[in-house]
Structure 1
């Protein structure tokens, strides 16, 4: 680059700098003067689900018992499942649907599905209403999201009927929205708050696993059996400024991205039937790529909303100096983009170890930042749309959340969708919530699955000639 070009570049960057210093404060002032300052969404409380029965817990060995019930699997499929379970980052105390515990995964009936939902709905809602001191009859809007179950009457109607809610309640039932459905439901409540002031809203977020257990042998569809576990959450929201002092969080911004126009992204996470007619959830190798692209699109909109002006300006200047990057929003972190200038905590969807690692690497996060998501995956598994709230609960149980802190919540879901938001902590929080009986044990010294030490021989190449029916496992010897 010659001297003249360098001078022109310096002049251009100086002009941008001056405009930035003038325009950004002016826009913020206009927004403050003429914007809707009553357009707010507070979260009063949330309650995560944890089964009361210890018999619902599934460790590696009990998971293997379930796997062995599928007589369609051969040695290669069994090895694949064991390797996946060992490397998944999931611990020994997650929860499975009751019908799977009872051995009915191949032939679930509607009553099993409804009972699974009722248990999650009513246990979390009972606690939510009791803790908040809010009556179900005071609720103005109810949004329920369960992707894989849509009975008639709807699941939201079951809740209205159980709690005898008002006839004028606005109820919505979302299905097929995937693991990021919680934030979609919250956005729906937020939009409702724009037209009804001093309102109360409830979101119930979970997934129906019992009737959707995959009983075939296609590897890309068996993954869901290894990763997904029972869980869910109910949340209470308001836009009533008189209840602000009772709120735990305030929603600062929420950005939704839908990458479904791309065929690869649309098909990377999809419910289908295999060649033998067994229905399941297929997760393809394209998922990581789709998530990255959707994440980039989302960050382009979200980051200017959450980062301070000087950080954005520094990023623009560095980008101009170094030229266009392959993935600008991701590689910007490598150029020194400081996300912690805008947020203090990162609440990442615990969809799997690869998801957590990928987000951590993309955003340049530390192990401290990733700990809540890793520990949630270990203790509760991937609980689909409810997973974010277990991560949030871990932060609260560890007394990390202080008044004024901001939380960057990151979620991905089928479609393909990336929905992210930022919360502001309204007061110091220290409720141990669903983590009460185990938070002192986290983080553990190691996340290595004990199965690795007990059954490491499963990966030995010289045993590839074995047949599954020839093997004797520890639980067989106990019979």
Structure 2
């Protein structure tokens, strides 16, 4: 072989190896690692126990016996426990006259609590953060919440910040999707996502049954988490993002209007939940599964499903063939139970979601992280396990992602001092049940009119 040919062959080989290294390096730096997350546990003086919730209901003088009965029945069936948290204006009996400052104070308490702990536990300083994403669905401020955080922690002036609103309970995974795309474009990035919901200015004080349910479910909370694509953090990271699929049915009028923030006939602001919401949630969920199942399930399970479908038999996907843990949005007992049945899950599979709903309530977009925290505190997350996070949001949206556990996890987080008491023998609130019985006896003398809105 002539020397020229040898040189050309060597150059081609080197070029091929360089391109191979470049592709490998790019793929390696496009990973999205979850380094740490911190859930917010408000102070005990913000707890909404049975007696206090009863006082709140009693303060609403426009509620008649039928509305009282409906509201108490909804609370009993919601799965909410005795120790969820509310904003200070409700604790101070000011739910009818909230101020902008009430909502901002609620968010500031969450931001400072979780971010202080996040920086302390990870050893990453605020000045090292490259990307900041804040997701608060139903409250905005000027300057934005991201600006408030940047000012408080004196972050760099070249930080990329994003302030998301209106995303509903699915906002957390939307924020995650945004960060994932940034990590694919830039190397060695630290990103923080802070996700919460402001309850303070959004408490409904009217008597429209289709707008009263949110008071029964939504509670104060939030979560901040640190993400990076730095390969040096792989050994320290808890999870690696494998797949993320987003589904949006906003082009359908029926889906778009099934969950809306609006005023009732008397001008009272609240969230309207349409009877078509379960139908739209199911449709969005099915479409989302269609997108994510081929990514997570083993080939033999997909082939089995296709063959069964072709033969005309009843074919169902065994999602547990590719998933070890199910992190379901704790939107309410009915939501959890419906997903459990549709996916063929056991009670143990949905236990983390039920217990999160019982202890912390529905904290909107941050709820998923309390569910994840329960799994970790119970020491169920082992290296190599796959976790499927599923969230729903107004619009109507269904977003889900799959994480891979990078090491055995056992951090107690917000569950640390109470985890041994879960699950309790029963999540039924006997006090609420007795109150419902009393209301029923009172209302039976006044009216036998059937409910117009079934919870």
Specify if TM > 0.5.
yes
Contact 1:345 1:369 in 2 (8 A): yes
* Maintained 8 Å contact 1:48/1:124: yes
Deviation at 1:38, TM superposition (A): 3.1
Alignment deviations for residues 33-73 of structure 1 (CA, whole Å, 9 cap, x no partner): 89834321000000000012x12111222111011111111
Q: Which moved more, 1:347-356 or 1:105-114?
A: 105-114
Matching of residue 460 in structure 1 with residue 440 in structure 2: yes
Within a 5 Å distance, the mapping from 1:27-176 to structure 2 comes to 36-52=27-43, 54-176=44-166
Partner SS, residue 277 of structure 1: coil
2:284 counterpart of 1:303:
no
Counterpart contact for 2:168–2:394, Cα < 8 Å: yes
Task: Indicate the residue corresponding to 2:325 in structure 1.
Answer: 345
Query: Matched residues in 2 for 1:462 and 1:130: separation?
Result: 55
Contact 1:86–1:451 (Cα < 8 Å) also in 2? no
2:452 corresponding residue in structure 1: none
Residues 71, 456 of structure 1: alpha-carbon distance in 2 compared, 3 angstrom cutoff: closer
User: Residue deviations 1:290-309, cap 9 Å, x none?
Assistant: 01000111111100000011
Distance 2:121 2:177 in 1: 24
Q: What SS does structure 2 have at the residue aligned with 1:460?
A: helix
| TM-score (normalizing by structure 1) | 0.86
Q: 2:187 aligns with which of 176, 181, 197?
A: 197
Q: CA deviation at 1:267?
A: 1.0
Q: How does 1:175-190 map to 2 (within 5 A)?
A: 175-190=165-180
Does the 8 Å contact 1:178/1:413 carry over to 2? yes
> Alpha-carbon deviation of 1:456?
4.5
1:341 deviates by 1.4
Query: 1:276 maps to which residue?
Result: 266
| 1:223 positional shift | 0.5
- Report the alpha carbon displacement of residue 316 of structure 1 after superposing the two structures with TM: 0.5
Range that drifts further, 337-346 or 119-128 = 337-346
Cα distance change, pair 464–339 in 1 and its aligned pair in 2 (3 A):
same
CA distance, structure 2, for counterparts of residue 313 and residue 71 of structure 1: 60
Equivalent pair of 2:376/2:410 in contact (CA under 8 Å)? yes
User: What is the Cα deviation at residue 74 of structure 1?
Assistant: 1.1
Deviation at 1:426, TM superposition (A): 0.7
Q: Which moved more, 1:127-136 or 1:458-467?
A: 458-467
Superposition deviation, residue 340 in structure 1: 1.6
Contact 1:79 1:458 in 2 (8 A): no
Unpaired runs of 5+ in structure 2?
1-22, 448-455
Q: Deviations over 1:178-228 (max 9, x none)?
A: 001000001100111111111000000000110111111100101011100
Alignment match of 1:415 (pick from 395, 398, 412): 395
Distance 2:433 2:296 in 1: 45
Q: 1:385 and 1:271 mapped to 2: Cα distance?
A: 16
In the TM superposition, what whole-angstrom CA distance separates every residue of 1:401-434 from its partner, at most 9, and x where no partner exists?
A: 0011000100000010000000000110111110
Aligned length: 425
Q: Please give the alpha-carbon distance, in whole angstroms, between the structure 2 residues aligned to 1:457 and 1:369.
A: 33
Which residue is 1:266 aligned to? 256
Task: Indicate the RMSD between aligned Cα atoms, in angstroms.
Answer: 1.6
Secondary structure class of the residue paired with 1:230: coil
Q: TM-score, normalised by structure 2?
A: 0.91
Task: Tell me by how many angstroms 1:234 deviates.
Answer: 0.1
Could you tell me which residue of structure 1 aligns to residue 376 of structure 2?
A: 396
Counterpart position of 1:328: none
How many angstroms apart in 2 are the aligned matches of 1:378 and 1:305? 32
Deviation of 1:384 after TM superposition, in Å, equals: 0.2
Deviations 1:144-176 (A, max 9, x none): 000111111101110010011100000000000
Q: Tell me if structure 2 keeps the 8 A contact 1:207–1:384.
A: yes
Give the one of 309, 312, 324 matched to 2:302.
Answer: 312
Q: Secondary structure at the match of 1:73?
A: coil
Looking at structure 2, the residues matched to 259 and 115 of structure 1 have their Cα atoms a distance apart, in angstroms, of 34
**In 2, Cα distance between the equivalents of 1:462 and 1:425?**
54
Provide the secondary structure at the position in 1 that maps to 2:242. Answer: strand
SS in 1 for 2:311: helix
Which of 429, 434, 450 aligns to 1:449? It is 429
**Residue 433 (structure 1) aligned with residue 413 (structure 2):** yes
Residue among 288, 291, 302 paired with 2:281: 291
CA distance in 1, matches of 2:157, 2:36: 24
Q: Secondary structure at the match of 2:391?
A: strand
C-alpha distance in structure 1 between counterparts of 2:40 and 2:26, whole Å: 38
> 1:117, CA displacement in angstroms?
0.5
Tell me the equivalent position of 1:374.
Answer: 354
Q: Residue 216 in 1 paired to residue 206 in 2?
A: yes
| Residues in 2 aligned to 1:466 and 1:379: alpha-carbon distance in whole angstroms | 36
2:234 alignment partner, SS class: helix
